[in-house]
Chains A and B, each alone.
Chain A
Amino acid sequence: EDQVTQSPEALRLQEGESSSLNCSYTVSGLRGLFWYRQDPGKGPEFLFTLYSAGEEKEKERLKATLTKKESFLHITAPKPEDSATYLCAVQADFNKFYFGSGTKLNVKP
């Protein structure tokens, strides 16, 4: 069964304390893995797309990596404004799109 699992469900960090969010997936025919940021009351905001194992993308304090089974979103020296829910999604065969349940990140000053 195709599925996407994110961990942890929630993460509390102190400002400057680096960490990683995990997205593991089991799908048939991975076409792409996507990371989104969602602020309360808003639609998801696109961050990254990864297509193949070994690929990495960076944007400011965020870095996304991909293996054959999972993806990590590394947050380096986070700031309070990085607080949000981070969603992982996978596109598989037949244009099926699966979202994980998200990791709610809270960065304390």
Chain B
Amino acid sequence: DAKTTQPPSMDCAEGRAANLPCNHSTISGNEYVYWYRQIHSQGPQYIIHGLKNNETNEMASLIITEDRKSSTLILPHATLRDTAVYYCIVRASSNNNAGNMLTFGGGTRLMVKP
């Protein structure tokens, strides 16, 4: 799986949009971009994933550049409960390959401030 690079920490004001960047310059054509977050003392929580197109769900939006070498996770209206470590992961789409594990790097520690 391709490696990812994320800033170690970011701050965001409550109610504002949080934009978390991720570089994955060695991504392959069959690799998805996944975002998870881990709130203190809890298990990783799935947020969103995409291959080429931008994606949106009830939690966030994922913007993937046209060359797929970077992406941005957008939390449109950050709340204090969004304070967590956010992980950007790329993962091959090999169907039914359950051994294709998620590789969590250092992530970005997002602090949402009042």
Q: Are A and B a genuine interacting pair, yes or no?
A: no
Spell out B's residues near A (CB within 8 Å): none
Interface residues of A (CB under 8 A from B): none
